[in-house]
Amino acid sequence: MGNQESSTKPATPSKNSIPDLIGRGITYAKRKYHERRARKAQESTADRAARRTAVATVWIAISTAATVGIGITHYIVFHGQLKVMQDQLLEVQKTSEQTDAIIEIQRNQANAVITASRVLIDNQRPQLSIEQAEATAPLVFNNGARMGVKFFFKNVGKTGIEDAHYSINLFPQGAAKNRRYPGPEQTVACREAGEAAAKAKGKGFRVGTNGNEPKEWPVLAMKQSDLDKGLQRTIEKSQGRSLFGTDIFSSSISQSYVILLIAGCVDYKFASSEGRHKVQFIAYVFRVDEAGNRVPISPDDKTIKAEELRVSVSSNPLD
């Protein structure tokens, strides 16, 4: 019976229960709030200003600290990014240097191949020269000048010459635009030879290996107007120097005379080369007497026999 009464007695609330703690917290907050209001009501103007200044100072300090913290964080992040970018840049630079080295090696290899190919072609290509010429018909002065001449094209190379075309022009030295040879006359001859090759379309002549191919111009002429430009009146023996550094004449003269030259060009190709090639040549025409002395070529003589004429030639390969 007694046990039953004790079991039905209501339990006393604990001071540490959650409702009790909440109530005590609210009471405490109200009390502090009223105390703070009472202090504010009692403080002087100077105390109020000092309190507000202190609060502002605290917030400024907090804000400054936050700004410094953010700045430090940004510095750390940006420094890390900068380090990554520098590493990437160094890697790119290293790769670029390696690429440049590879390109340089490839360029050197390509140049070596080109050089070797050129050497091979040069060793196997034709070597065309014009070393010999002779007059085949008299030199006649009649409304200009004309003569016959034969040149010998010599190939000392290891490959035959194909589809060769040529052009030559007779002119007096005084009519030359440029007395330093090769000059414009050979340039004109090379242009004409190239045009002849283009028109003929593979119908030129051939010069075999170690060949000596003669080609004759029965009539090589120039106009009177060109002859007049080169007509000379007087020359002293000391002034008589040929294009090749020897005396033109063996004695001084005072009669009309002319120094004749022949400019020419051969345009050709060969099997191991896709392009065409050219050889320029210049020839000096002079006259000799029975004793072999050089004497002037004068238009006043009208006709000079082929046996009295000599042709000295020099050639110059262009490519």
Domain ranges of the chain: 18-124, 128-317
CATH superfamily of 128-317: Immunoglobulins (2.60.40.10)
Q: Name the DSSP class of 241.
A: B
139 HSE (CA, 13 A, CB side): 26
For residues 268 and 165, is the Cβ–Cβ distance under 8 A?
Answer: yes
Q: How confident is the model at residue 307 (pLDDT cuts 50, 70, 90)?
A: very high
Q: CA-to-CA distance for 253 and 240, rounded, in angstroms? A: 10
- Least Cα distance to 130 among 198, 180, 182, 195 occurs for 182
DSSP single-letter state for residue 247: B
CB 227 within 8 A of CB 258: yes
Express each pLDDT in 90-130 by its tens digit.
Answer: 888 888 778 888 888 888 888 877 776 666 666 667 788 88
Per-residue pLDDT tens over the stretch 16-71: 677 777 777 788 777 777 777 777 677 677 777 777 788 788 888 888 888 888 87
- On whether the pTM is more than 0.85, the answer is no
Alpha-carbon span 223 to 170, nearest angstrom: 9
- pLDDT tens-digit profile of 161-181? 888 888 888 888 766 544 444
Widest distance between CA atoms in the chain:
181
**Which residues are 150's β-sheet partners?**
134, 216
Question: Which residues 6+ apart lie within 8 Å of 22 measured at CB?
Answer: none
